[in-house]
Amino acid sequence: MEAPNVTRVDYTLMDIADDGYLSLLDKDGQEKSDVKLPEGEEGDKIKAAFDNGDNLSVCVIAAMGEEAVVSFKNEK
């Protein structure tokens, strides 16, 4: 039985572009800008916290060629 290879990476949220893409920074200082802000309540919470000036960390899950933000936390 085959199973998908799933990875989980935490990134620092640097910016949210007008088109909904996130500017992320990994622990090695590499920038990533091809992940979209989630739709719905989770995306609204991330946007509100970012607009409030909070330093956020987002968790991105990748599987089968797709990536999505699944959670976030405030980095005080």
Structural domain includes residue 2: no
pLDDT in tens, 4-57: 899 999 999 999 999 999 999 999 999 999 999 999 999 999 999 999 999 999
CB neighbour class for 58 (10 Å; exposed up to 12, middle 13-18, buried from 19) = buried
Structural domain includes residue 38: yes
**Predicted confidence band at 70 (pLDDT cuts at 50, 70, 90)?**
very high
* Ramachandran area for residue 40 (φ above 0: left; ψ -120 to 50: alpha; else beta): left
Q: Which domain holds residue 59?
A: 7-74
Determine contact, residues 22/33, Cβ cutoff 8 Å: yes
- Number of domains composing the chain: 1
Structural domain includes residue 1: no
Structural domain includes residue 59: yes
Determine contact, residues 35/10, Cβ cutoff 8 Å: no
Identify the CA nearest to 32 among candidates 44, 40, 24, 20: 24
- Tokens read off for 38: 């989630």
CATH number at residue 67: 2.40.50.140
| pTM as predicted | 0.88
